Amino acid sequence: MLSLVDLRSRLDSGALTPEAAIRLAQEAIAAREPEVGALVSRLAEPRVPGSGPLAGIAVGVKDIIDTADLPTEMGSGLYAGWRPKADAAIVMRLRALGAVPLAKTTTSPFASLDPTATRNPRAPGRTPGGSSAGSAAAVAAGMLPLALGTQTGGSVIHPAAFCGVAAIKPSFRLLPTVGVKTVSWALDTLGLFGAGIRDVAHALALLADRPAIDLGPDPGAPRIGLVTQDFAGAPEPAMAAALARAVRAAERAGARVSDLALPAPLPEAWAGHGIIQNYEARQALSWEYATHRSALSETLRGQLDRAQDLTAEAYDGARRHAHRARGVLKDLFGEVDALLTPSAPGPAPEGLAATGDPRFNRLWTLMGVPCVNVPVPGAGAPLGIQVVARFGDDGRALAVARLIEGALAAES
């Protein structure tokens, strides 16, 4: 994979020019893209800024994020060739830092559950996950050192786990969603994919203009709560084993790990995630549904069909549960520094017909707390566990994730 931090180091030393760094990505794309199919469109001859803290960094932009110089097709024929007027705020931020938004990456239609044609570079014959399929796969295939995704259910963390790459879904609204197609305004969160934890930490600190995220608090001997999310069902045996390995690695690195059962109303909040998502999606996609229902992908159409019956009362109730649960979770973070929980039920499901189940991701998206996927090295299809920290404590989530990443690397 292309590591952002490694590239920056070679750029800073003068061993690499920004133009040459972008060419590395272009050459990798030429070699791998025909097989992976992670990109919707790309700039043939991008303008490469000569300076800036992300100069030389080629970035993949999920195709529900507006770009003025490339079409934004939302993963749907409805938006074939659509040209927004302006770049999304996050794309402008990338440009201001000297990065090159080089390519648009595949997405499930309107960031839904329907699959893309993208292949999983690390697990042939298995889905790369979704909805940020192209961003996860492009980083996993070594085509790009950084890619943007969005998560409404689990669309950043679970494709990262399936493709074996690092990713962060930051605190809600730490990164601006202006110019990102809305599915659910209470949930949609921009996230980052990179080769390793330090890569996404460095990128997030720059994009959010909060340097402390990168330095991170020294995790010391962090208190970690092990959360199985029983309310969401059991993980597969392979995931249970990966989680156990991550726990042992964390303990070897000095962490104190203890079981933590999430109290009420956290399970109730989890159960209401879909109500909030679908009640808002019904409004956010009302033009598409009312005027082009038959052109929508099958799962999304069904989801919106069912959403027509949701009541404001059910929605308000789910929001109240979520509001109370955020308070309870905040208090829990007085007792532990971070939580450790599966990124997905198991490895990527076989085939390309489905993108996998976001049931272990939904609660954290709804709580708005930072989540970091840490790949767990091993034979077979990739597995990932996620580190979760308190709202606004993205630096700590990354620092604990890096501790575990390092301890896992040391054993393998």
Q: Which residues would be at the binding site for a second copy (CB under 8 A)?
A: 68, 79, 82, 85-87, 89, 92-93, 95-96, 173, 176-179, 182, 185-186, 208-210, 280, 283-284, 286-288, 290, 311-312, 316, 392
Nearer to a second copy, 4 or 183 (CB): 183
Distance CA 121, CA 32 (A): 9
Nearest C-alpha neighbor of 276 from the set 157, 383, 169, 367: 367
Q: Strands across the sheet with 338-342, in order?
A: 39-42, 100-105, 58-62, 146-151, 189-194, 166-169, 371-376, 383-388, 338-342, 223-226, 256-259
Distance CA 282, CA 285 (A): 6
- Nearest distance, CB of residue 187 and a second copy, angstroms: 12
In a 13 Å sphere around the CA of 365, the CA atoms on its Cβ side amount to: 30
The token pair at 380 is 């077979």
Nearer to a second copy, 258 or 283 (CB): 283
- Nearest distance, CB of residue 251 and a second copy, angstroms: 33
- Nearest distance, CB of residue 192 and a second copy, angstroms: 17
Nearer to a second copy, 155 or 184 (CB): 184
The token pair at 360 is 């272990």
How far, CA to CA in Å, does 358 sit from each of 152, 155, 233, 285, 396? Answer: 10, 8, 12, 21, 24
Question: 150: which DSSP letter?
Answer: E
- Nearest distance, CB of residue 216 and a second copy, angstroms: 16
Nearer to a second copy, 37 or 109 (CB): 109
- Nearest distance, CB of residue 185 and a second copy, angstroms: 7
Nearer to a second copy, 96 or 238 (CB): 96
Nearer to a second copy, 86 or 261 (CB): 86
Distance CA 123, CA 356 (A): 14
- Nearest distance, CB of residue 164 and a second copy, angstroms: 32
Nearest C-alpha neighbor of 397 from the set 347, 326, 345, 336: 336
In angstroms, what is the C-alpha Rg of the chain? 20
Nearer to a second copy, 82 or 298 (CB): 82
- Nearest distance, CB of residue 37 and a second copy, angstroms: 25
